């Protein structure tokens, strides 16, 4: 499914790099308790695939995906571990071709109008905007609504507690993702109650008036 609706159900997607697989289940449960039911585990650590598998098997209320997908081999390994969606920081022809052979949808990364045009021609309507928080980040996403109204974005990279609602206020943003939803220092400290409280704070802000 290129034009997938899977991620449309989630407005907040924590992005995590886990150093130990045993962090995965308590983290996922803490997020679910706080009202967040989607997580992107990046393939930046040796524990990533085991973490994805643990969440997929032991936390049924959490939709787990794999991030930092950069090679065709990454796709196969992530899907085999139980990833229900895939996220890439950018795109290559090889990556897009391989993604068509697998059921879990790919959220491909783009940072320019040309990249967005190429992805739209391939049938993608959900795109990760990375890195989003640049001097022109908000303006870029907003401007894309004119020439490419079918596209919807998930900004990532520099999105934080102070600005995530600005992105979500844009009509062509379906979700935001980032480590601010599950900060690395809290994960390392095993402060999962704090992560639950942060998740509750962020989900409560979703229903607050637009910034």
Active site residues: 40, 128
Confidence label for 211 from pLDDT (cuts 50, 70 and 90): low
Give the model's pLDDT for residue 3. 42
Cβ contacts of residue 117 below 8 Å, gap of 6+? 148
Does the global pTM surpass 0.85?
yes
Q: What Rg do the C-alpha atoms of the chain give, in angstroms?
A: 16
CA distance 118 to 114: 6
Tens of pLDDT, residues 54-102:
999 999 999 999 999 999 999 999 999 999 999 999 999 999 999 999 9
If one compares 137 and 31, the residue with the highest pLDDT of the two is 31
Tens of pLDDT, residues 160-191:
999 999 999 999 999 999 999 999 999 999 99
Half-sphere exposure of 172 (CA within 13 A, CB side): 21
Mean pLDDT of the chain: 94
How far is CA 54 from each of CA 13, 22, 43, 87, 194, rounded to the nearest angstrom? 18, 8, 15, 19, 22
CA distance 44 to 74: 11
Tens of pLDDT, residues 23-37:
999 999 999 999 999
Largest CA distance in the chain: 46
Give the model's pLDDT for residue 188. 97
Give the model's pLDDT for residue 135. 62
């Amino acid at each position: 499914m290129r034009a997938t609706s899977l991620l449309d159900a989630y407005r907040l997607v924590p992005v995590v790099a886990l150093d130990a697989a045993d962090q995965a289940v308590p983290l996922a449960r803490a997020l679910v308790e706080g009202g967040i039911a989607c997580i992107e585990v990046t393939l930046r650590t040796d524990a990533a695939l085991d973490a994805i598998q643990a969440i997929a098997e032991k936390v049924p209320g959490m939709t787990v995906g794999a991030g930092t997908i950069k090679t065709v081999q990454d796709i196969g390994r992530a899907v085999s571990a139980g990833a229900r969606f895939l996220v890439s920081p950018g795109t290559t022809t090889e990556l897009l071709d391989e993604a068509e052979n697998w059921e879990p949808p790919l959220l491909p990364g783009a940072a320019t109008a040309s990249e967005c045009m190429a992805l739209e021609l391939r049938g993608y309507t959900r795109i990760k905007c990375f890195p989003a928080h640049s001097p022109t980040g908000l303006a870029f996403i907003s401007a894309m609504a004119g020439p490419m109204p079918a596209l919807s974005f998930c900004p990532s990279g520099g999105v934080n507690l102070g600005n995530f609602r600005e992105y979500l206020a844009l009509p062509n943003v379906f979700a935001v993702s980032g480590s601010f939803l599950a900060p690395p220092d809290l994960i390392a400290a095993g402060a999962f109650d704090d992560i639950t409280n942060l998740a509750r704070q962020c989900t409560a802000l979703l229903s607050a008036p637009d910034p």
